[in-house]
Structures are given as structure tokens and as C-alpha cells.
């Protein structure tokens, strides 16, 4: 359920606005929403990194809006504390890990994502894309949630430990060969467990999609986006 409480996004050059979505238990989760200029081709649910719905995640949502999709990025940390936006310094990394893996309760987070999918499905087919922590949640969304038409997971840490779960929708995955957080042995396990799923490996590091980080790779980012857009264009 979308509330009428909406305000324009303050600061920066973001295209979208802030909305509130009611969860299954009545809790109101905030989300950044970015809309296309013409009729929407579908909805892309953008799942945050451990750094919250920060400027980068809003920019990612805007990119999908410019490609014709309605994009929505729910602030999953609202269950702990509202308006969390972290940077990429070491202290931010530590706080983000604590919030994501100690503060959030995974079953509740998946229920919240189901609520966002249910809301979004009233506007068209729903695709899910996520990065880092969001890459893990994207994999789990493809496996566990109803109403997900397609998914694209970027460098999701922890997926190798969730391979008992099998995707129920078309899924593609992206990893960086230089990623110290996700060893290639884990990527090979993921490939072996899901032989029909395209698993793309780039000459890049963890976080290669984020141009706010030193690990950003323009070439890998652009190629992964092309593949994700083609995936969504086919299935949404």
C-alpha cells in the first residue's frame, strides 16, 4: 500500500522522490522512487548495499528510470534506524556490516521485500537487482519471493552458503574476479549448483558498479548493465 506522504528528494541531482510503503505488519518503510518519462516497461526493485539507500543507490534507480522502468529502492535499515546513508570509508563499512548482518532479521527483511514486490506488481512485472548485501538478497528473492519476474544479482556475498535455495525465476549473476570478499571457489560452487544460470565474471573488484568507490570499473559496470537491461527487457 502506497501512502500519499511523498516529498521531493532533497539535494543532489536525483530524479525521484521519497515514498512510504506499508509492510505486512503495518510498519511503514521509506523508499526512493524514480519514474520514467514515458510509459513504464515494468518495475525494477533496487536492493541496497550495506551502506543504505545512499546517493549511489538513488543514482542506480535513476539509471533504470532513464531506461524506461519504474525503479524503487526500499530503505531496509528503517527497521533499525531511519535515514541511514553511509559512505565508503572503513568506519562506514564496519557500521554497514553491523546493520546488515547483526541488526536486520533476515526473515523479516524477506517479508518486507515481498511487501515491496506486492506493491510494485500493481504497476507491472517486477524485476529485482541488488548489489553486495543486496546481491545476496536478490538471489534469495529469486528463490523465495512470489511475483518476481526476473532478477540480476551483483557480487552477492554469502550466496555460496544459500545454494539449497533454488531460483524460481530467470536470474543472472555478476562477480568480480579480483573480489577478495567472494573467492572464485565460491563462484565455482554457485556455477556448479546452478548450471543453467548465466554467471558472468569480470576483470574487476568488489563494488565495480559503484563510481563512488575506488574499485569502480567503467567497463565492467557498463557491460553488466547492458546484460541486466537485456535480461529485464526479455522477461519484464
- Of residues 94, 11, 22, the one with CA closest to residue 54: 11
Q: Is 74 helix (H, G, I), strand (E, B) or coil?
A: strand
Please confirm, yes or no, whether 206 is among the known catalytic residues. yes
For residue 2, what pLDDT is reported?
A: 32
| Spans of the chain below 50 pLDDT | 1-12
For residue 144, what pLDDT is reported?
A: 98
Cα–Cα distances in angstroms (integers) from residue 146 to residues 7, 44, 61, 220, in the given order = 30, 15, 22, 30
Q: Are strands 126-131 and 43-47 parallel, antiparallel or unpaired?
A: parallel
- Of residues 47, 49, 46, 18, the one with CA closest to residue 32: 18
For residue 13, what pLDDT is reported?
A: 63
For residue 6, what pLDDT is reported?
A: 34
Please confirm, yes or no, whether 179 is among the known catalytic residues. yes
For residue 14, what pLDDT is reported?
A: 75
Catalytically annotated residue among 112, 132, 210, 231: 132
Cα–Cα distances in angstroms (integers) from residue 92 to residues 49, 51, 110, 194, in the given order = 12, 7, 24, 33
- Model pTM score: 0.93
Catalytically annotated residue among 119, 174, 206, 231: 206
Catalytically annotated residue among 62, 78, 179, 205: 179
Domains of the chain, earliest start first: 7-235 (3.40.50.1820)
Amino acid at each position: 500500500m502506497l501512502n500519499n506522504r511523498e516529498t521531493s528528494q532533497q539535494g543532489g541531482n536525483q530524479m525521484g522522490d521519497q515514498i512510504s510503503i506499508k509492510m505486512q505488519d503495518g510498519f511503514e518503510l521509506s523508499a526512493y522512487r524514480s519514474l520514467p518519462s514515458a510509459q513504464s516497461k515494468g518495475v525494477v526493485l533496487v536492493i541496497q548495499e550495506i551502506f543504505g539507500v545512499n546517493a549511489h543507490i538513488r543514482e542506480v534507480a535513476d539509471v533504470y528510470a532513464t531506461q524506461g522502468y519504474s525503479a524503487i529502492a526500499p530503505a531496509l535499515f528503517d527497521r533499525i534506524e531511519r535515514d541511514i546513508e553511509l559512505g565508503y570509508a572503513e568506519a562506514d563499512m564496519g557500521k554497514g556490516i553491523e546493520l546488515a548482518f547483526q541488526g536486520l532479521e533476515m526473515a523479516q527483511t524477506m517479508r518486507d521485500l515481498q511487501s515491496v514486490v506486492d506493491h510494485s506488481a500493481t504497476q507491472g512485472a517486477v524485476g529485482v537487482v541488488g548489489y553486495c548485501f543486496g546481491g545476496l538478497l536478490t538471489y534469495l528473492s529469486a528463490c523465495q519471493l512470489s511475483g518476481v519476474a526476473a532478477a540480476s544479482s551483483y557480487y552477492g556475498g554469502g550466496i555460496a552458503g544459500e545454494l539449497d535455495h533454488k531460483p524460481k525465476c530467470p536470474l543472472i549473476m555478476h562477480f568480480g574476479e579480483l573480489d577478495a570478499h567472494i573467492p572464485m571457489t565460491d563462484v565455482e560452487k554457485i556455477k556448479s549448483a546452478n548450471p543453467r544460470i548465466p554467471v558472468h565474471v569480470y576483470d574487476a573488484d568488489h563494488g565495480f558498479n559503484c563510481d563512488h568507490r575506488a574499485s569502480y570499473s567503467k567497463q565492467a559496470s557498463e557491460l553488466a548493465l547492458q546484460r541486466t537491461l537485456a535480461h529485464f527487457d526479455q522477461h519484464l
